[in-house]
Amino acid sequence: MNDTIKYSVIHGGGVTQPDVLYNRFDLKYGDDTQVLCSSADMQWMIPLHIDHRTAYLGLYLVEIPQFVFDGLIRFVLKRYKRVDKIRCFYSLNNYEGQFLPFNHYRVILPKTEEELFRRMNKKGRYNLTRERRMLGELGEVLYLHYSGPDIPPEAIKRFFELKEKTHGYNPHMRKNTYVKDACISDVYLVMLDRMIIGIALTCEQCECVYLENITYDMDYSKYSVGFSCYEYCLSKLIEKHKKEIFLGGGDHEYKKRFHSIEETAYSGSVYRNRWIKLKYDNLVHFKDAVKTALSKMGLR
């Protein structure tokens, strides 16, 4: 491959692979700007969005040679003088050791739910069936799916109630605008006698799905409600002929099931200089403190 890479800004050049929301800035931000990185025999199209003084690059699990990636960062900083910071999420590349490594899980979806079920061992299949039966003995159990404008507001309200019980308050999640901010397209519910006890939130705008969040009522943990909700979500995605689901990082056991693939990815920011980095760090700490205080006062 010719190592001479040319960088240029284009619009609407095509879909970056993998086709997932965080590589589709045309859907997430309404911005079809891309950086075309090209040599004599290869090319890569990387989504670019600039918000004030921050540039975002769509590099979510994008396979790109390290030297091309390094040149891309330098190109953006050189071309856009007003940009102080470049943000990347789950990139397969690091930049001069400035990003943090994270594990990342994804599941390549099979063609049928039967194939999905066979990815569990005999004990796992037995336990899921038994726990669903035991839950059914407590009352009427419903598995429901909602999309777009049909997503019930009470489902999102219940999501925050359950999440805050297990994880506490998150200053980065605004309750009133969370669905819009996170580009949530679909919601999957497990209900017991009309009460939501499990909920999964997804972004399904592309052929690859992003699992935005999942939680459940800890009072029903012995019935594996969270995993049951997850399996229901996957079965519906298979019906829709989705290709993959991206699960992000962490160490939750459900992410290791169904022949998931674990890999190392990097997230972080590149700053124009160390003084700008210090300024942003102080600003983030201040904003988080204000958000937490407003929430405790019931103002947010």
Instruction: Tell me the domain boundaries of the chain.
Output: 6-103+264-296, 110-242
Half-sphere exposure of 282 (CA within 13 A, CB side): 6
Task: Return the pLDDT at 291.
Answer: 60
Task: Please give the residue that has the higher pLDDT: either 200 or 298.
Answer: 200
Which fold does the domain 6-103+264-296 belong to in CATH?
Aminopeptidase (3.40.630)
Per-residue pLDDT tens over the stretch 16-28: 999 999 999 999 9
Q: How far apart are CA 192 and CA 185, in angstroms?
A: 23
Q: Does 110-242 match 6-103+264-296 at the fold level?
A: yes
Structure tokens at 219: 């009072």
Residue 298 has pLDDT above 70, yes or no: no
Task: Return the pLDDT at 1.
Answer: 46
Q: Is the pTM of this model over 0.95?
A: no
Which fold does the domain 110-242 belong to in CATH?
Aminopeptidase (3.40.630)
Q: How far apart are CA 257 and CA 251, in angstroms?
A: 12
Per-residue pLDDT tens over the stretch 175-209: 889 999 999 999 999 999 999 999 999 999 999 99
